[in-house]
Structure 1
Amino acid sequence: MARTNDDVAAMLEEYADLLAITGGPDFKIRVYQKAARSIGAHVTDIAGYDTTELRQIPNVGESIARKVAGYLRSGTVPQLEELRGRIPAGVRALTRIPALGPKRAMALHQRLGVDSPESLEAAIHAGALHGLPGFGEKTEENLLHGIALLRDAGERVHLGVAMPLAEDIVTALRAVEGCHRCGYAGSLRRMKDTIGDIDIVATSNRPKVLMSAFVALSQVTEVILHGDTKTSVRTGQGLQVDLRVVPPDAWGAAMQYFTGAKAHNIRTREIAVHRKLKLSEYGLFDAVTDELIVSKTEEEVYQRLGLPWIPPTLREDIGEIEAALAGELPDLVTEEDVRGDLHTHTELTDGHASLEEMVAAAAERGYAYYGVTDHGPKLYMQQMTLDKALAQRERVRELDGTSGLRLLHGVELNIDPDGDVDWPPDVLAGFDVCVASVHSHFDLPQDRTTRRLVRAAEHPCVNIIGHPSARLIGRRPPIDADWDEVFQACARSGTALEINAFPDRLDLAAELIRRARRYGVKFAVDSDSHAVGHLANLRYGIGTAQRGWLTADDVINTWPLDRLTAFLRKKQAAGVSRP
């Protein structure tokens, strides 16, 4: 569900950004950034917390606690409002551009009068940045790419923002008298990476009552359209939410109609026409007599069209119709299939919870096994050492087996520009699972990036390539690699590719998953948790895996422990050689 924590974390992040723009001291900026991450990761919703309770959260000192407590009471922070007033809105807009930090945004405004992404783009094309310190040719190229990325993102948000909001709204509407059924549809139900608006479908014989309750919800800040069958509102996050109400018997037809991508819906309507039928949100009708044929369930709508029920995550017209007609739809992996999580962090490096807290939370999820993979020493800011890792291993062994949970002591290694990773093979052989990820040098040429990933995949101790494309949705584009060559290397070496479930990553993306699967690559759907609450993000990774057409057999952390451990040990036993 949507939490106050996320709003407060965003407020503190903005405060840190504005401090950076106005030349605030670096240590103070970091303090606010750390507090934002800690509050965002805090397990309990902080609504109603007082200053004393807020100070119990790691990295939240007296001054920040007072600001947050005031924000919780009044919805505003005077110091933040004062900072906002000192900075032109255009400069704040510039900070949304990937690759442009707050200080450089302010410098561009002061030197060139740049006050928007559009004016920055024009200035770059006009050569106005030439000669400015810190703005070379490569920087200009990165800024143009960042502006394009920002433009593509538009007003879209990632799943982790849209899903809790939709679930809150659906829960509230289900409680309204006269509401028979209610659920979200559209791109959210298809688990797309980003969501432009939220589609809610409900059934009721009293639509006016339901619509009145909808526009009165606390999340609503603007009513765009208010009707008996469709009402559109805007929420505090800026998202448009459309509610459509149909009669109770039309539930199946409405969910089918409002879930599929446009191309999928065109295909199903074409099939209906060929069968002398008409398909709408109210049902499947005889094209001649207008007699209603079916409408109550999605299954009967698809069946009458000569198709099996098609899972929502596949409804994109990328081959699912043909697969359905041929009886070849995949039996998609589900969250219930997952037996464990193989990429998680603790407070030993950049996590926000102790090993014991993370293990207890994993046990509560009913996992059979759980991998702890704090960062290796090449991610220098985490200050990891071999001694720390070995001490953690001892504690992991002590906790192993508690609550029936098999613990795997692992590490997330950093892949350097040449494809090397932290620690030599004789050290890495002592870990149960090794995840290797790109954390820097994101703009290498394609040939070097490809070679980098291939070398990591062929390392005898690397089991999983973590968040392989290193993208951050809306903030950083994927690294440029010859993915087919990378996929071939992973298939050849027995290295799994991660589907990182963090909502701003969802990496690999679905289209790359489908390509990799054709080479026989295996995958790991991991949460990359840095706090207890992050473990639940796994569902977003599963949605992405489904969009990639994966079955449980394709995903190594759905396997029984003996099969998983055999897979993890296979590379070392085979002694895969380094190029």
Structure 2
Amino acid sequence: MARANDEAAELVQELADLLSITGGEAFKVRAYEKAARAIAGHPEDIAALDLEGLRRIPNVGAAIAKKIADYNATGTIRQVEELRAEIPAGVRALTSIPTLGPKKAMAVYEELGVSSVPELARAIEDGRLRGLRGFGAKTEENILRGIELMRRAGDRVLVDTAMGLASDIVAALSRVDGCRRCVYAGSLRRMRETIGDLDVLAASDDPGPIMAAFTALPQVAEVIARGDKKTSVRTVKGLQVDLRVVPPEAWGAALQYFTGSRQHNVRIRERAVRAGLKLSEYGLFSASEEDGGLIVSATEEEVYARLGLPWIPPTLREDSGEIEAALDGTLPRLVTEEDLRGDLHSHTDLTDGTASLEDMVAAAEARGLEYFAITDHAPDLFMQRMTDEKALAQREAIRALQARHPGMTLLHGTELNIGPDGGVDWDADFLAGFDVCVASVHSHFTQTTAEATRRLLRACENPHVHVIGHPTARLIGRRAPLDADWDEVFRACARTGTALEIDCFPDRLDLPADLIRRARRFGVKFAIDSDAHAVGHFRNVRYGVGTAQRGWLTPEDVINAWPLDRLRAFLGGETPA
């Protein structure tokens, strides 16, 4: 996806936030928010679109199209710059706190003179918010949780942001004369959900031109350190990128060395020492003073093999049992994107999606899927305007559309809302008409452990709920996960045959990898779903698959990696032959 789409979407979303702070009309704020989602998910590069092309983006009218054209011409949106100047910087800083909305940010600024996150934390500790209208003990608790989320996130970025930057850098350096190979390594290759800095590895006999090209990239704002073997830069967005250039013959050792976590690499080096060897980014060497010669270095496979191990997939290199599994031959055959036969969670413009039913189906078919479920929101999320009549009309439209797509089976589903007591939209008779029901939490995120657990257990025990969508309801860096007794939830899912979703949105990646692995031990099954609200969102599947791999999942664990007849049996429909 072109960087222009992401940057323009960020600016339009910021415009919505700034208008909220200044008391802008609610319908305008919602319009900008919808447009931001549509721009981010649009499959075409907006930088190449004229005004007419911009207006063809869903939810982008004439006024917003002019603002995007403004961005294409100047790199910014004038109204955003004007509002930034109008609104105190302190208020803008406060709005970055999860759980603190723009109106409350303005209130603490105007009433208490609080203009920074540390000042707000101190004001809460001193009890100064208690006298403000709309602020109570629960509000204070939520704000403190939001501040803690910010603190933990630090300068880290979401995996898709890092992937976009890394892909651009790798592509640019791969074109430099003399560059034999170039890839990203480190935590991004391990598919961590957030990335603190990027590691890029290149192979060449002449590092100079590659280093020069690296420091001259348009993304670079500052050169931190420069050398023949390693150069570090800071990008315009603040992310540090380290480039290492090694001789081509050392490629495998370097890739192994710069991919694993610190703990994984310590364990690997310990094995080398016990075998009388030394491991570095240049190869595996004899530790003997007599020879000290190179043994292997060309491929990761031969480095691991010389240490008595099979190749270990990058997503497992965290010292979380992968070395023991490699030694006893129980490393899993991890699920891949190619294993996925279908997608069980997606949205159209009938509710909060930005693409039509026809466009979403065509994009799913282009992905090569064997089956595809449309799961627009149910009526309890009243802002999505769903009704019984609309749902039934969509079902008929899907049946008609099926004839035009004979190579892919279309499933009519719904994303139900799990209410605070665990109830869901629609009665049993109406729910029985859907092929698949995903049920998700969309509100009341701060319940007690007992309340959240009861809520999820009731949803699992509903015979019409097949999948619990984005189970913890977290938004990485913005909203904490539900505080539930997850082992109890996993037991219920295993007992009732309810799958847990791995939502592929980069700010969700929910269920997280640590909970995936715990749930798997209970015998829980999973669905890796795009939750696509636009055609462009299908690209996020790679991040959901990476999260599933970090949770040690195999194709057997993932219901949408199964043939359709087996999936239908799981959903309670047709019995496999």
Q: Tell me if TM exceeds 0.5.
A: yes
- The amino acid that maps onto 2:134 is G
Corresponding position of 2:547: 544
* Runs of 4 or more consecutive aligned structure 1 residues displaced over 4 Å after TM superposition: none
Q: 2: distance between equivalents of 1:242 and 1:271?
A: 27
Contact 2:58 2:355 in 1 (8 A): no
- The amino acid that maps onto 1:292 is L
Corresponding position of 2:496: 493
Corresponding position of 1:379: 381
Moved more, 431-440 or 237-246: 237-246
- Residues 1:468 and 2:482 aligned together: no
After the TM superposition, which residues 20-419 of structure 1 pair with which residues of structure 2 at under 5 Å, given as runs?
Answer: 20-288=20-288, 289-400=291-402, 402-419=405-422
1:521-567 Cα offsets, whole Å, 9 max, x none, are: 00000000001111121111110000000000000000011100011
Q: 2: distance between equivalents of 1:34 and 1:511?
A: 33
Corresponding position of 1:516: 519
Q: 2: distance between equivalents of 1:165 and 1:396?
A: 38
Corresponding position of 1:576: none
Q: 1: distance between equivalents of 2:429 and 2:61?
A: 43
Contact 1:2 1:168 in 2 (8 A): no
Unaligned runs of 5+ in 2: none
Give 1:70 deviation, angstroms.
1.7
1:406-459 Cα offsets, whole Å, 9 max, x none, are: 011100000001111111111111100000000001111111110110110111
Moved more, 359-368 or 72-81: 72-81
1:144-168 Cα offsets, whole Å, 9 max, x none, are: 0000000100111111211121111
Moved more, 431-440 or 52-61: 52-61
Q: 2: distance between equivalents of 1:463 and 1:27?
A: 35
Give 1:400 deviation, angstroms.
2.0
Moved more, 37-46 or 483-492: 37-46
Q: 2: distance between equivalents of 1:176 and 1:166?
A: 16
Give 1:186 deviation, angstroms.
0.5
SS in 1 for 2:258: helix
- Residues 1:11 and 2:11 aligned together: yes
Q: 2: distance between equivalents of 1:471 and 1:158?
A: 14
Q: 1: distance between equivalents of 2:97 and 2:46?
A: 30
SS in 1 for 2:234: strand
Q: 2: distance between equivalents of 1:560 and 1:99?
A: 42
Moved more, 6-15 or 399-408: 399-408
Give 1:77 deviation, angstroms.
2.6
SS in 2 for 1:188: helix
Contact 1:155 1:196 in 2 (8 A): yes
Give 1:403 deviation, angstroms.
4.6
Contact 2:351 2:386 in 1 (8 A): yes
Contact 1:363 1:403 in 2 (8 A): no
Contact 2:272 2:279 in 1 (8 A): yes
Q: 2: distance between equivalents of 1:495 and 1:76?
A: 46
Contact 2:316 2:322 in 1 (8 A): yes
Contact 2:11 2:76 in 1 (8 A): no
1:102-124 Cα offsets, whole Å, 9 max, x none, are: 12111111111111111111110
Give 1:19 deviation, angstroms.
1.7
- The amino acid that maps onto 1:411 is T
- The amino acid that maps onto 1:85 is A
1:216-254 Cα offsets, whole Å, 9 max, x none, are: 112222222221111111223221111110000111111
SS in 2 for 1:465: strand
Contact 1:2 1:165 in 2 (8 A): no
SS in 1 for 2:47: coil
Q: 2: distance between equivalents of 1:322 and 1:125?
A: 47
Contact 1:346 1:358 in 2 (8 A): yes
Q: 1: distance between equivalents of 2:324 and 2:238?
A: 38
Give 1:482 deviation, angstroms.
0.4
Give 1:27 deviation, angstroms.
2.3
Corresponding position of 2:436: 433
Contact 2:59 2:354 in 1 (8 A): no
Q: 2: distance between equivalents of 1:499 and 1:80?
A: 35
Q: 2: distance between equivalents of 1:248 and 1:143?
A: 51
Distance 1:53 1:102, change over 3 A: same
Q: 1: distance between equivalents of 2:497 and 2:184?
A: 39
Contact 2:344 2:375 in 1 (8 A): yes
Q: 2: distance between equivalents of 1:430 and 1:337?
A: 28
1:331-390 Cα offsets, whole Å, 9 max, x none, are: 111111100100001111111111111111111111110111001000110010111111
Moved more, 79-88 or 471-480: 79-88
Unaligned runs of 5+ in 1: 574-579
Q: 2: distance between equivalents of 1:228 and 1:375?
A: 55
